[in-house]
Amino acid sequence: MNKQSLRDVKREATANALAEAAFDLAMELGMDGFVVEDVVQRAGYSRRTFANHFSCKEEAVVMGASAFNNVDEVQQLLENLPEYSTPLEVLEQLVRMELTAGLFKKTRELVKLSKQHPTLEPYILSALHHHQGDAQELLIDLFEDKYATGYIQLLVGAVYGAALPMLYGNSNIQFPGQSKDESSESILLDQYLDEIFGYLKNGF
């Protein structure tokens, strides 16, 4: 690993540690129950280090809930990608890899917290946009010689647009680790994703 790569890994590890500390404090004490100084003390870093990564505690809390940590799995996916894979096939695997039980638990808690503290909402949307942008950039890099950029943008936008109702609880989806509500006609997350990607594969 070269020095630049090592520096990037360390920077990401630092940001993740600060974000995790901020999210944990928010869950324990509420948004009004802690300040940035509490975050840096728990994570073991300085206030200046925090400022190098985040503009405020709200941004750190959101990252702590939404950070994607399956980098090794993505790398393995790309290394073993069949030659004739399509953008839709790769996107489906990425989404299923990203939507883990832990991520859903954290993001749903975050959305509940944002209803009491609306200042979190712009950062939640920004985090979703960041994930969408990463997926779009990856697919363009992989398929720019075979597929139009507009097609990939439309594809990624449709899939991440379908994620919003899941995050905000405006759906009847039963998430991993969530008990089934007998009073509702909920469907499993995998069923929902099968439906969404079925539309994209077969038409509406």
Residue 45 pLDDT: 96
pTM: 0.76
Which is higher by pLDDT, 125 or 33?
33
* Three-state DSSP state, 178: coil
Domains in the chain with CATH codes: 1-56 (1.10.10), 68-202 (no CATH)
Which is higher by pLDDT, 194 or 175?
194
The string of pLDDT tens digits covering residues 5-59 is 456 667 878 988 999 999 999 999 999 999 999 999 999 999 999 999 999 999 9
Cβ pair 54, 166 in contact under 8 A: no
85: which residues sit within 8 A by CB, 6+ positions away?
none
Residue 75 pLDDT: 78
Rounded to whole angstroms, how far apart are CA atoms 110 and 117? 10
At residue 60, does pLDDT exceed 80?
yes
The string of pLDDT tens digits covering residues 146-188 is 999 999 999 999 988 887 777 666 567 776 666 665 445 677 8
128: which residues sit within 8 A by CB, 6+ positions away?
66, 160, 163, 164, 167
| Angle formed at CA 26 by CA 21 and CA 27, multiple of 5 degrees | 100
Q: Which of 60, 34, 178 is nearest to 124 (CA)?
A: 60
Residue 180 pLDDT: 61
At residue 201, does pLDDT exceed 70?
yes
Per-position b or e across 48-66, b if 16+ CB within 10 A of its CB = ebbeebbeebbbbbbbbbb
Rounded to whole angstroms, how far apart are CA atoms 103 and 101? 6
Cα distances (Å, whole numbers) of residue 144 to 58, 81, 109: 36, 16, 37
Which is higher by pLDDT, 195 or 68?
195
Rounded to whole angstroms, how far apart are CA atoms 164 and 114? 14
Which is higher by pLDDT, 101 or 132?
132
The string of pLDDT tens digits covering residues 72-97 is 777 788 888 888 899 999 999 888 88
At residue 144, does pLDDT exceed 70?
yes
Instruction: Share the mean pLDDT of the chain.
Output: 84
At residue 136, does pLDDT exceed 60?
yes
